[in-house]
């Protein structure tokens, strides 16, 4: 077998593989030995039919077909190793019998991993913001717990105020025409100016059950739904019910109701520890983002289009699955972002290219450093996934095997392991200013 390679593009090659007549005849003989065991011919024991008789009864085409099925994958694999190529997709293969009728030519077009020259990746200068949790943050979290445990009581002696919980119908129109997402029936929500278009909540103040009001608002110029941005709208509102939250007393009864602690001080201490843990996680994530950004800025190489296209499809699928999980339509999602699917695909392509480039760099570093995934590390990740989804490890293994297989999971663990390695090698300094208040 001989194989030559021709570069069609920075990340696409064509392999020209020739299987000689003797090699192909040897493959045909092996194919005959395999096929003869599957046929019964009168007068012969199964598997002991002479080849000439077999060819007269079954035909040479069956032998040729089996020989090609056997020889092509092997020849292709050997050619990849010979030329040190790393494919990232299935090949497109064309076959040709040469003039002698006995040799075989295989032409295989395939996308390959780009050549990556690694820049310095050790000792990267990174900044980590210190974590500082204030008493105000602890108090806000404590009050949020009280608010979640609050009981709602009917309002009988006044109209709507900020913080009340209201049930209402509303119909929104622009130039007299209803618009998508602008109407609801028996909608229950807290009256909070941050939850509504500017001016909406304020115009509800003072209203009582049974009242009808027409509210006039203007959508912000940079509203997330571009079809509504900057436009004036009317909302016909009918108030059905008004209730106010009554916060529980901050005492041991409340503490035992919302936690496993016995005292208010113990709950405060626990809240502080949780906020510090969140801050630590945010600080670590921020450092990782700096690390990736630094790696991306130091490397420039072509990306295989097939990998970018695949990542774009994955991002679209994730978005569609999320919208389905929350009971929203894909059309609503596109409307909220103010784009059509073509525009969204273009938007996702930038992120897809970033992800693909990051993955290729980290894979190359993992190779250079001999970073691999052990059985224990894979089992640990499976246990983590099993806990996250409330399944046993065996059930999680079955899910992974039936869906993506273990390849993507191993790649994910190796990627994180490589990032951890790079962080141990980095020059991480404490920056001025803390992450206090970030949540």
Tell me the mean pLDDT in the region 123-149: 92
**Nearest by Cα to 30 from 19, 41, 40:** 19
Cβ distance 16 to 6 under 8 Å?
Answer: yes
Average pLDDT over all residues of the chain: 91
**Nearest by Cα to 76 from 65, 64, 90, 66:** 90
User: Per-residue pLDDT for 377 more than 60?
Assistant: yes
pLDDT band at 439 (very low <50, low <70, confident <90, very high): very low
- Residue 87 and residue 115: Cα distance in Å, rounded? 12
3-state secondary structure of 26: helix
The distance of Cα 318 from the centroid of its chain, to the nearest Å, equals 6
Query: What pLDDT score was predicted for residue 331?
Result: 82
Query: What pLDDT score was predicted for residue 101?
Result: 63
User: Per-residue pLDDT for 257 more than 60?
Assistant: yes
Query: What pLDDT score was predicted for residue 286?
Result: 93
Q: What is the pTM for the complete model shown?
A: 0.75
Cβ distance 41 to 54 under 8 Å?
Answer: yes
Token pair belonging to 238: 């009918």
pLDDT band at 437 (very low <50, low <70, confident <90, very high): very low
Calculate the alpha carbon distances from 46 to 35, 41, 430 in Å.
11, 7, 78
**Segment of 52-61, 98-107, 131-140 carrying the highest mean pLDDT:** 131-140
Q: Within 203-340, where are the H helices?
A: 252-258, 264-298, 305-325, 330-337
* 227-247: b (≥16 Cβ within 10 Å) or e: ebeeeebbbebbbebbbbbee
Enumerate residues 6+ apart whose C-beta is below 8 A from 325.
none
According to DSSP, the β-strands at 125-128 and 427-430 are parallel
Angle at 22 between CA 18 and CA 24, to 5 degrees: 55
- Residue that is written with structure tokens 């395999």 in the block: 34
Cβ distance 309 to 299 under 8 Å?
Answer: no
Tell me the mean pLDDT in the region 11-35: 92
Cβ distance 433 to 129 under 8 Å?
Answer: yes
Over pLDDT 90: what percentage of the chain?
72
pLDDT band at 204 (very low <50, low <70, confident <90, very high): very high
Domains, the chain, with CATH or none:
2-111 (3.30.70.1050), 151-246 (3.10.50.40), 256-430 (1.10.3120.10)
Tell me the mean pLDDT in the region 175-199: 91
Between 92 and 101, the more confident residue is: 92
95-122: pLDDT as tens digits: 988 766 678 999 999 999 999 999 999 9
At what angle are helices 393-402 and 375-389 packed, to 10 degrees? 100
User: Per-residue pLDDT for 365 more than 90?
Assistant: yes
Q: Could you tell me which residues are beta bridge partners of residue 154?
A: 243
pLDDT band at 434 (very low <50, low <70, confident <90, very high): very low
Query: What pLDDT score was predicted for residue 222?
Result: 77
Query: What pLDDT score was predicted for residue 398?
Result: 92
DSSP tag of 112: B
Query: What pLDDT score was predicted for residue 329?
Result: 82
Query: What pLDDT score was predicted for residue 2?
Result: 92
pLDDT band at 432 (very low <50, low <70, confident <90, very high): low
Tell me the mean pLDDT in the region 140-160: 92
Cβ distance 311 to 350 under 8 Å?
Answer: no
Q: Could you tell me which residues are beta bridge partners of residue 87?
A: 112
Mean pLDDT lowest among 272-276, 362-366, 430-434:
430-434
Its sign, for the CA torsion 316, 322, 323, 325, is: positive
Token pair belonging to 8: 């069609």
Tell me the mean pLDDT in the region 300-313: 95
279-290: pLDDT as tens digits: 999 999 999 999
Tell me the mean pLDDT in the region 4-27: 93
User: Per-residue pLDDT for 428 more than 80?
Assistant: yes
pLDDT band at 246 (very low <50, low <70, confident <90, very high): very high
**Segment of 96-110, 212-226, 340-354 carrying the highest mean pLDDT:** 340-354
């Amino acid at each position: 077998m001989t194989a030559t390679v021709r570069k069609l593009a920075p990340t696409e090659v064509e392999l020209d593989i020739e299987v000689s007549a003797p090699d192909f005849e040897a493959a045909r003989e092996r194919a005959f030995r395999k096929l003869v065991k599957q046929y019964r011919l009168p007068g012969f024991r199964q598997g002991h039919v002479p080849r000439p008789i077999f060819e007269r009864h079954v035909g040479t085409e069956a032998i040729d077909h089996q020989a090609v099925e056997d020889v092509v994958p092997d020849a292709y694999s050997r050619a990849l190793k010979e030329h040190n190529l790393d494919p990232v997709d299935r090949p497109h293969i064309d076959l040709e019998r040469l003039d002698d009728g006995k040799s075989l030519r295989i032409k295989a077009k395939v996308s390959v991993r780009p050549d990556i020259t690694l820049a310095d990746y050790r000792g990267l200068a990174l900044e980590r913001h210190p974590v500082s949790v204030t008493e105000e943050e602890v108090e806000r979290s404590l009050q949020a717990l009280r608010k979640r445990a609050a009981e709602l009581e009917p309002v009988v002696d006044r109209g709507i105020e900020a913080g009340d919980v209201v049930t209402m119908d509303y119909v929104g129109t622009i130039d007299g025409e209803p618009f998508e997402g602008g109407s609801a029936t028996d909608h229950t929500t807290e009256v909070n100016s941050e939850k509504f278009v500017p001016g909406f909540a304020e115009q509800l103040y003072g209203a009582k059950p049974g009242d009808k009001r027409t509210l006039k608002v203007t959508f912000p110029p940079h509203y997330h739904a571009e079809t509504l941005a900057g436009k004036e709208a009317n909302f016909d509102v009918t108030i059905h019910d008004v209730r106010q939250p009554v916060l529980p007393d901050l005492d041991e009864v409340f503490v035992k109701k919302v936690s496993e602690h016995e005292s208010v001080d113990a709950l405060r201490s626990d809240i502080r520890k949780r906020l510090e843990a969140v801050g630590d996680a945010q600080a670590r994530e921020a450092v990782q983002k700096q690390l990736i950004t630094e790696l991306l800025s130091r490397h420039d190489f072509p990306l295989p289009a097939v990998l970018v296209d695949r990542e774009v499809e994955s991002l679209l699928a994730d978005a569609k699955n999320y919208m389905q999980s929350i009971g929203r339509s894909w059309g609503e999602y596109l409307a909220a972002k103010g784009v059509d699917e073509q525009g969204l695909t273009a938007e996702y392509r930038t992120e897809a290219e970033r992800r693909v480039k990051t993955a290729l760099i980290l894979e190359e570093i993992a190779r250079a450093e001999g970073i691999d995934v052990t059985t224990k590390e894979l089992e640990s990740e499976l246990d983590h996934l099993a806990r996250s989804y409330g399944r046993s490890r065996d059930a999680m293994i079955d899910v992974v095997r039936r869906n993506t297989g273990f390849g993507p999971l191993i790649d994910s663990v190796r990627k994180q392991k490589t990032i951890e390695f790079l962080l141990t090698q980095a020059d991480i300094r404490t920056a001025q200013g803390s992450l206090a208040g970030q949540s």
